[in-house]
Amino acid sequence: MIPATAYAAVGAILAALITSGISFVNLVISKDQKTSEFRQAWIDALRQDLSEMIGHIFRISALCDYYIELHKDDTDKAINELVKDIGKDISTVSMLFHRILLRLNPEEDKEIIDSVTTLHDMLSSIETNMLDQDKIDKESQRLLALSQVLLKKEWKRVKRGEPASSVQNTFF
């Protein structure tokens, strides 16, 4: 015959095991939710940087057109005035370029990195590229389209949530 205290001890052990299992599951779910929050913050920051970069690039592009039209016969004067007017924009684009690169995966996001790099390189040699605004505008549009695909994919991942694979592997 099993003493009554043994039933109490077995019950206490089972209760402790169930409680620890539930705590573990809650810990994993909490970690996954936090990961989703960080992923959402990453998406928001990347979206902000990309939109600012594209905005500055369109401003630079518009000013290029303006100064070329204003000084049709004097390209040097157009370039000098343009460079004075877009100095802050170029510096901001350079900062955003590096922040974007730091947020992207060099292997998975190669197309976006190539597009951002192409635009940055175009602006680094504005004197040679200012006459080819179509090229700058097309690359800006390409970057926008590629970014929308990436952001949509990541947003779906956030909505879906992080897979609780460690819980599944532990208990199932």
Angle at 153 between CA 27 and CA 112, to 5 degrees: 120
Mean pLDDT, residues 73-95: 87
**Is the residue at 77 inside a domain?**
yes
**Is the residue at 5 inside a domain?**
no
Number of folded domains that form the chain: 1
pLDDT band at 21 (very low <50, low <70, confident <90, very high): confident
**Is the residue at 88 inside a domain?**
yes
3-state secondary structure of 130: coil
Query: What integer pLDDT is reported at residue 116 of this predicted model?
Result: 94
On whether the CB atoms of residues 58 and 86 are closer than 8 A, the answer is no
**Is the residue at 35 inside a domain?**
no
On whether the CB atoms of residues 83 and 120 are closer than 8 A, the answer is no
Checking if the pLDDT of 100 tops 90, the result is: yes
CA distances from 68 to 3, 78, 80, 145 (A): 98, 6, 11, 28
Query: What integer pLDDT is reported at residue 172 of this predicted model?
Result: 42
Structure tokens at 111: 């197309």
Q: Is the dihedral of CA 92, 142, 100, 111 positive or negative?
A: negative
Checking if the pLDDT of 120 tops 60, the result is: yes
Q: Quote the pTM value.
A: 0.71
**Is the residue at 147 inside a domain?**
yes
Domain hosting residue 123, numbered range: 41-160
On whether the CB atoms of residues 139 and 118 are closer than 8 A, the answer is yes
**Is the residue at 29 inside a domain?**
no
Query: What integer pLDDT is reported at residue 115 of this predicted model?
Result: 94
Query: What integer pLDDT is reported at residue 105 of this predicted model?
Result: 92
CA distances from 162 to 29, 37, 105, 170 (A): 9, 10, 19, 16
The CATH number of whichever domain residue 149 belongs to comes to: 1.20.120
**52 or 8: which leads in pLDDT:** 52
CA distances from 30 to 158, 162, 166 (A): 14, 10, 13
**Is the residue at 13 inside a domain?**
no
**Is the residue at 53 inside a domain?**
yes
